[in-house]
Amino acid sequence: PDGTVALFDRFRANVRRAQQANVILPLPATSVVALRLLASLADRALAPRPQVIYLDSAHEEGEVLLELGLAWAAVAPGGIVFGDDWILPREGYDGDGPVQRDVLRFAELHASELDDAFGPRVQPMRTLGRARPGLFVSYLSFQWFMRKRPDAPD
């Protein structure tokens, strides 16, 4: 009734039609389960680490931080982790939200692993602001971006 199955089927059909099935792995699982699976497969050399991970978290403080930690462990050095809802507007809203607080907290904890040169390299493609070293936010979409340094440990 909510369209989830139809949406997933459409996504898989689009992946096949674009001939990208060999590089895109759709996982119908919670983010925690999927991220742990990806890291486990990579740790056992059964699959490469993903180059890009997109998070659409549940907007609960702490949950975003948990998902970010799992995504960071799974993504390849030089890979990108990004997500949306940097600021999720709502009536009477004044200040930052749980996504923003957790992403900022994560960026602070992992500052030495963040590629601060990432933003200027992609600046011509998007309107990005630098929220802190290594953390960039689109002014247009309120998506946030972090790139793991290529020399960061696996």
pLDDT in tens, 140-153: 888 999 999 999 98
Give the CA diameter of the chain: 49
Confidence grade of residue 124 (pLDDT, cut at 50, 70, 90): low
Confidence grade of residue 87 (pLDDT, cut at 50, 70, 90): confident
Decide: 27 and 53 in contact? Cβ < 8 Å.
Answer: no
For range 89-103, the mean pLDDT: 73
Tell me what percent of the residues of the chain surpass a pLDDT of 90.
54
Class of residue 37 by CB neighbours under 10 A (exposed 0-12, middle 13-18, buried 19+): middle
Tell me what percent of the residues of the chain surpass a pLDDT of 70.
89
pTM above 0.85, yes or no: no
Quote the pLDDT of residue 118.
78
Confidence grade of residue 5 (pLDDT, cut at 50, 70, 90): confident
For range 116-134, the mean pLDDT: 77
Rounded CA gap, 50 and 89, in Å? Answer: 31
Q: Tell me, what DSSP letter sits at residue 43?
A: H
Answer whether residue 54 shows pLDDT above 70.
yes
Decide: 114 and 135 in contact? Cβ < 8 Å.
Answer: yes
pLDDT digits (tens, 9 = 90+) for 62-75: 999 999 999 999 99
Answer whether residue 1 shows pLDDT above 60.
no
Answer whether residue 18 shows pLDDT above 90.
yes
